[in-house]
């Protein structure tokens, strides 16, 4: 099985190379905004814009109107326009909102190569068009065909993301167990085994420092050197919080995929949940959307099966013993007793148990025993 994985590595550029990297992300941002403006203009004029025509249009005028684009690799503006085309494609398929203009300093990135063979990796260094050889903090983790390189600036540090196509061998699993997983706010994740996983709590731990730096930054005069320095300190803290959260997510999702062959989880509407101002920070701190995304692609890598339950599946309100549904169950109630069978439930554990039964019932296993279950009694949905 061929899969494409990306490895993000920190760069150690020289001063001259950093200038070129800054120019590259600037050209990428300008090209994307130019394409978005031109797309809107052509559409309002009754034309049918597309990213291929826009790339040819920019190529015909950039030497006269934008000669500074020639200072960076030619793939930078071309890839930015392709990204704009993909953004519109996702919008047309109702997978994302209408494309927005890019702002300086927010998610600065640029693709620097022009396909395989236009860049080279040797140990802890990388050769890029025009920029030349750049030092890497570590060697490339994957061995395979390197497809592309994308540079990104986070705070004042530079990173390169290398996409590599590798051949994955068929996975032979020793464990064939099934598990249900319920994501929550007070507890990040609850397993049907009874185990409760505490999240990284990266925002909570750094919340006071984050508020203090934000207050300091708001008091600095706009355009001053002190404001730029405070913005950089604030960006460093945000980057640290993001790194802590990502580390917890990767370690937790990898462990789950290694231990269980079938995993049931609810397909939560995270965007709607973030609209609740009282829960938004805790929900974002857990990273529920990213949690599901990582489980989805890692299930293919580890030969596991991920079963997603509908957002309307009553995982918390259904009794895991008799399958009766309690209609009124507000979030404030964490423990409840079934009125029909008298079973006492922990809200999160009961939900994860129901999700486990849901996953076993809908998994592709031919028999329940193949999922690591003893006998045929697996709960109300089995």
Q: Which of the residues 51, 108, 113, 182 is marked catalytic?
A: 182
List the catalytic residue out of 113, 266, 305, 373. 266
Please give the structure tokens belonging to residue 239.
Answer: 């980057």
On whether the CB atoms of residues 288 and 272 are closer than 8 A, the answer is no
Answer yes or no: 170 catalytic.
no
Residue 348 falls in the annotated catalytic set: yes
183: left (phi over 0), alpha (psi -120 to 50) or beta: beta
Strand-pair category, 2-12 with 132-136: antiparallel
150: closest CA among 87, 108, 121? 108
Give the residue from 98, 16, 86 showing the smallest Cα distance to 51: 86
CB 144 within 8 A of CB 7: no
Contacts of 140 (CB under 8 A, 6+ apart): 7, 9, 121, 146, 162, 164
Residue 26 in tokens: 């600037």
- Residue 65, Cβ density class (10 Å: 0-12 exposed, 13-18 middle, ≥19 buried): exposed
The dihedrals phi and psi of 103, each to the nearest 5 degrees, come to -115, 150
**Ramachandran category for residue 381: left, alpha or beta (phi over 0 → left; psi -120 to 50 → alpha):** alpha
Q: Is 266 a catalytic residue?
A: yes
Token duo for residue 19: 């200038």
- 264 touches 181 (CB < 8 A): yes
Catalytic residue, chosen from 51, 108, 305, 348, is 348
Closest CA to 283 of 171, 145, 184, 367: 184
- Residues annotated as part of the active site: 182, 266, 348
């Amino acid at each position: 099985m061929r899969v494409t994985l990306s490895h993000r590595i920190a760069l150690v550029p020289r001063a001259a190379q950093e200038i070129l990297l800054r120019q590259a992300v600037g050209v990428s941002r300008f090209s994307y905004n130019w394409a978005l403006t031109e797309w809107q203009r052509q559409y309002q004029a009754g034309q049918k814009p597309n990213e291929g025509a826009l790339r040819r249009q920019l190529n015909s005028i950039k030497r006269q109107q934008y000669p500074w684009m020639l200072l960076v690799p030619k793939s930078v503006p071309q890839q930015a326009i392709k990204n704009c085309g993909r953004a519109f494609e996702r919008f047309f398929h109702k997978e994302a909102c209408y494309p927005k203009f890019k702002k300086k300093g927010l998610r600065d990135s640029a693709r620097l190569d022009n396909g395989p063979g236009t860049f080279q990796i040797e140990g802890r260094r990388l050769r890029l068009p025009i920029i030349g050889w750049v030092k890497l903090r570590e060697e490339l983790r994957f061995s395979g065909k390197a497809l592309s390189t994308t540079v990104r600036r986070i705070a004042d540090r530079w990173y390169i993301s290398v996409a590599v196509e590798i051949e994955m061998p068929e996975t032979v699993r020793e464990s064939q167990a099934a598990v249900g997983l319920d994501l929550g706010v007070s507890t990040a994740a609850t397993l049907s085994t009874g185990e409760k996983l505490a999240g990284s709590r990266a925002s909570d731990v750094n919340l006071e420092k984050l508020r203090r730096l934000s207050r300091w930054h708001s008091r600095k005069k706009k355009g001053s050197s002190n404001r730029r320095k405070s913005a950089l300190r604030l960006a460093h803290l945000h980057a640290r919080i993001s790194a802590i959260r990502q580390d917890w997510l990767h370690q937790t999702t990898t462990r789950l995929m290694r231990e269980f062959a079938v995993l049931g989880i609810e397909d939560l509407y995270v965007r709607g949940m973030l609209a609740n101002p009282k829960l938004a920070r805790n929900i974002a701190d857990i990273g529920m959307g990213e949690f599901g995304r990582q489980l989805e692609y890692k299930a293919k890598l580890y030969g596991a099966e991920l079963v997603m339950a509908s957002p309307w599946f009553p995982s918390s309100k259904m009794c895991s013993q008799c399958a009766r549904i309690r209609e009124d169950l507000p979030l404030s109630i964490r423990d409840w007793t079934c009125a029909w069978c008298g079973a006492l439930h922990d809200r999160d554990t009961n939900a994860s148990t129901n999700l486990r039964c849901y996953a076993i019932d809908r998994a592709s296993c031919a028999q329940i025993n193949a999922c690591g279950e003893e006998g045929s009694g697996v709960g109300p949905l089995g």
